[in-house]
Amino acid sequence: MKKTLPVIGMACSACSANVENKLRSIAGVHEATVNLVGRTATIDFDPSQVSLQELKNQVSDIGYDMVIDQERSVEEIEAREWKLLKRKTIMAWVLAAMVMCLAMGWVNAGGRDAANQLALIISLASMILCGKQFYVNAFRQLRHKGASMDTLVALSTGIAFTFSTYNTFWGEVAWGARGIAWHTYFDAVTMIIAFVLTGRMLEEKAKDSTASSLRQLMGMSPKTARVVAKKQPVEGDEAGEMVPISTIEKGDLLEVRAGEKIPVDGEVTWASSFMTDDAAYVDESMITGEPTPAAKRVGDKVLAGTIPSQGRLRLRAREVGEATALAQIIAIVQQSQNSKAPVHRLVDKAASVFVPAVAAAALLTFVLWLAIAGFDALPRAILSMVSVLVVACPCAMGLATPTALMVGMGKAAERQILIKDATALEMLRKVDALVTDKTGTLTIPNQSVVDFTHADGMSLDEREALKPNAREAITALKKMGVEVHLLSGDKEEAVRYWAKQAGIEHYQSGVMPADKEQLVKRLQCEGKTVAMMGDGINDTQALALADVSIAIGTGTDVAMDVAQVTLMGNDLLSVPAAVELSRSTVKMIWQNLFWAFVYNLVCLPLAAGVLHLFGINFQITPMWAAGLMALSSVSVVLNSLRLKYKTI
């Protein structure tokens, strides 16, 4: 059994890695993939060996929450979590401002000792009231030999608070008597908590935007339906009551009026509109991309989520719930956004060792400061260690890939392009050869050579047409460096004619399914990355062999099952759009990874105080380290969101 379940409480790539590793370690779980940005876990498990409740308990044990019951609304949970996070962030800034006023001497608190003691109390309040989850989660993860951003925050603030508390009561005795200047860092403690919470709040808002396309799709699913009769039809025009969609069964008779969403996939039993007595007009653009409402008459199929724009109709429910076409589209988009591209898997491996590596780097910084400058440099060594722990958070690196993939997959869905997995999205950018079927793929089905005498003796019927924007699509692909091949089992003159109409130089006629497969294989042997586009059973061999397989949504179920990419509409400009989207998405991923790497490359040495070795008195303090860490994560997400507004 495979389930995609929401996971609450993940903040960084180390968090998602912890959840993923925990799930994979459970007996009965075959595979588990966790999406940080989508906040979901896709789990393939054996329900006879492990239950959903056991999975939830295991995840809860390491500090996260998994939603397994439908009674709990994920939206409500996340809204509640967001409000709590917002309140904590505001409180953290208020407390941080109070400590800053004491640290800077802006408030007369009755002397240095009194100011430090008051700052200690305020900092402790901030740690308990605002940052409690950092310490609880870090402890839980430590018990299971795990680590995350919470570990770094807990370590850095804990060390700074402990050292500052020591200095508050014994600083003058320990350091002052030896002529060493001593300080407390309660301002750093409160500022780190405030900045980290602010960063998380901004990340959550930005991550919501990356998932907006999926939410729009899910919002197309109606919540209620108007029942005319259960199982059996009734005579007359009187409609029944509105009931929850969950109560609808196959065979129920439903009525839908203009402006209402069709609740299930079904077959029209009666239709009427002011234009005609035997048809209603349904807007199917959200599914097929076709802008013109389609006439629906008795016997025609209608899909859940589409909307009658004129008239009203009755339908017999044929597919309900998760079996509807809309539900399957949503499932494909969820699956694709939860899948991981090869580059993402590489980043995951790096992120899994990043937190321990940062902790080791912080400890090394501490030891080197003492070794180079002696025990008198203990305050500086601790400050540097805390700065390294804070500034090197793996959030930016962990968010680099999934945010770009989420936006890319969502944008593809908006263009009626369904991409089944991240590997296909990444591979599309490399395509430099496209093999396409003719009938039903390049041309409208059932067009044939019948009666038009051409100058060279060909007989062609001018009634024919290519699919919308077919020639423009081929031209765009050739400009992108893609070599296009047309294959068909049709006659030579027909294939030559259509190839010329579409602007395709390479074509073959009279081919069998095995011939299509052989061409794909030959092009691959020439070193090309091949995409195969088709719509029928005769295309499945070539589709299965191709590097990227593209099916037409109006084709056979077999072709769509094999294909990695499905075009829901008839506009073939979707093909170059998919290639361009792939190139833009992967480019965005590498941009994000580059800047995340540069951020750590620059900030880590500055936080460790390397410049002091060269006589330059500059160092990133813990407070600024927290601000830079938050800024890096938010900037990566915002950079990915630029893809959302790119014209494809």
Written as one string, the DSSP assignment of 12-80 is: SHHHHHHHHHHHHTSTTEEEEEEETTTTEEEEEE-TTT--HHHHHHHHHHTT-EE---TTS-HHHHHHH
pTM over 0.85: no
Residue partners of 602: CB distance under 8 A and separation at least 6: none
How many CB atoms sit inside 10 A of residue 142's CB? 12
pLDDT-based confidence at residue 231 (cuts at 50, 70, 90): low
C-alpha separations of 383 from 127, 364, 543, 607, 617 in Å:
19, 13, 59, 9, 14
Q: Phi first, then psi: what are they for 236, rounded to 5°?
A: 95, 175
Q: pLDDT per residue over 336-378, tens digit each?
A: 656 666 666 666 666 667 778 888 999 999 999 999 888 888 8
At residue 463, the pLDDT reads: 38
Most confident of 50-64, 196-210, 534-548: 50-64
Whether residue 179 is predicted with pLDDT greater than 50 in this model: the reply is yes
Q: Which residue(s) pair with 566 in the sheet?
A: 418, 551
pLDDT-based confidence at residue 471 (cuts at 50, 70, 90): very high
The proportion of the chain whose per-residue pLDDT surpasses 90, expressed as a percent, equals 28
Whether residue 196 is predicted with pLDDT greater than 60 in this model: the reply is yes
Using a 10 angstrom Cβ sphere, with 0-12 exposed, 13-18 middle and 19 or more buried, the burial of residue 453 is exposed
Q: Which residue(s) pair with 282 in the sheet?
A: 294, 308
Distance between the two ends of the chain, CA-based, in angstroms? 37
Please give the average per-residue pLDDT across 459-484, as a whole number.
Answer: 82
Packing angle, helices 574-608 and 395-414, rounded to 10: 170
Please give the average per-residue pLDDT across 371-394, as a whole number.
Answer: 84
How far is Cα 169 from Cα 117, in angstroms, rounded to an integer? 8
pLDDT-based confidence at residue 277 (cuts at 50, 70, 90): confident
pLDDT-based confidence at residue 138 (cuts at 50, 70, 90): confident
At residue 289, the pLDDT reads: 59
Alpha-carbon Rg for the chain, nearest whole angstrom, is 31
How many CB atoms sit inside 10 A of residue 601's CB? 9
Q: Is 434 helix (H, G, I), strand (E, B) or coil?
A: strand
At residue 458, the pLDDT reads: 45
Strands (E) located in 375-488: 417-419, 433-437, 483-487
Packing angle, helices 112-129 and 149-174, rounded to 10: 160
How far is Cα 209 from Cα 404, in angstroms, rounded to an integer? 12
How far is Cα 218 from Cα 55, in angstroms, rounded to an integer? 25
pLDDT-based confidence at residue 335 (cuts at 50, 70, 90): low
- Two tokens at 7? 């996971």
Whether residue 238 is predicted with pLDDT greater than 60 in this model: the reply is no
Residue partners of 280: CB distance under 8 A and separation at least 6: 258, 268, 271, 272, 273, 295, 296, 308, 310, 311, 312, 313
How many CB atoms sit inside 10 A of residue 242's CB? 11
The proportion of the chain whose per-residue pLDDT surpasses 70, expressed as a percent, equals 85
Query: Reduced to 3 DSSP states, what percent helix, strand and coil does the chain have, rounded to the nearest 5?
Result: 55, 15, 30
Q: Is 539 a catalytic residue?
A: no
At residue 128, the pLDDT reads: 96
At residue 449, the pLDDT reads: 44
At residue 347, the pLDDT reads: 64
Most confident of 238-252, 327-341, 467-481: 467-481
> Long-range contacts made by residues 484-488, C-beta under 8 angstroms, separation at least 24?
484/433, 484/434, 484/436, 485/433, 485/434, 485/435, 485/436, 485/519, 485/523, 486/436, 486/438, 486/442, 487/435, 487/436, 487/437, 487/438, 487/511, 487/515, 487/516, 487/519, 488/437, 488/438, 488/439
Strands 40-45 and 29-35: antiparallel
At residue 91, the pLDDT reads: 96
Mean pLDDT across the chain: 83
CB 478 within 8 A of CB 579: no
Residue partners of 472: CB distance under 8 A and separation at least 6: 573
At residue 631, the pLDDT reads: 82
pLDDT-based confidence at residue 232 (cuts at 50, 70, 90): low
Please give the average per-residue pLDDT across 378-391, as a whole number.
Answer: 87
Q: Which amino acid is at 413?
A: A
How many CB atoms sit inside 10 A of residue 331's CB? 13
Q: Phi first, then psi: what are they for 35, rounded to 5°?
A: -105, 115
Packing angle, helices 492-502 and 470-479, rounded to 10: 70
Closest to 387 measured CA to CA, from 563, 643, 553, 600: 600
At residue 71, the pLDDT reads: 56
How far is Cα 623 from Cα 299, in angstroms, rounded to an integer? 68
How far is Cα 425 from Cα 422, in angstroms, rounded to an integer? 5
Strands (E) located in 553-645: 565-567
Describe the strand order of the beta sheet including 29-35 as a list of residue ranges.
Answer: 29-35, 40-45, 2-8, 65-66
How far is Cα 134 from Cα 154, in angstroms, rounded to an integer? 6
Please give the average per-residue pLDDT across 637-642, as a whole number.
Answer: 85
At residue 441, the pLDDT reads: 86
Q: pLDDT per residue over 570-591, tens digit each?
A: 789 999 999 999 999 989 988 8
Q: What is the DSSP letter of 443?
A: B
Q: Which of 283, 437, 490, 571 is catalytic?
A: 437
CB 431 within 8 A of CB 530: yes
Q: What is the DSSP letter of 467?
A: P
At residue 237, the pLDDT reads: 43
At residue 290, the pLDDT reads: 63
CA 424 from centroid of its chain's CA atoms? 15
Q: Is 308 helix (H, G, I), strand (E, B) or coil?
A: strand
